[in-house]
């Protein structure tokens, strides 16, 4: 999968992001993260559909 669009490196993130990340990681800490990436995809490119069609045609 490829994305095209702007990206930023952030030193801090809103508390809401910390809480959502903690929940998604079953309570695990993300204290090790020294930077966060904020990606704003404007285009999403995936080749999964092509591979899926090829594997289903046999």
Q: What pLDDT, in 10s, does the model give residues 4-25?
A: 999 999 998 888 888 888 888 8
> Domain boundaries in the chain?
2-56
Q: Which of 32 and 39 is assigned the larger pLDDT? A: 39
The whole-angstrom separation of Cα 18 and Cα 16 is: 5
DSSP letter, residue 39: E
Q: Which of 52 and 25 is assigned the larger pLDDT? A: 25
**CA proximity to 10, closest of 31, 37, 30, 29:** 37
The whole-angstrom separation of Cα 14 and Cα 39 is: 15
Is the separation of the CB atoms in 5 and 11 below 8 Å? no
Q: Which of 9 and 52 is assigned the larger pLDDT? A: 9
């Amino acid at each position: 999968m490829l994305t095209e669009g702007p990206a930023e490196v952030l030193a801090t993130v809103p508390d809401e992001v910390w809480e959502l990340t903690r929940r998604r990681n079953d309570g695990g800490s993300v204290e090790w993260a020294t930077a966060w990436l904020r990606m704003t995809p404007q285009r999403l490119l995936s080749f999964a559909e092509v591979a899926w069609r090829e594997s289903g045609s046999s």
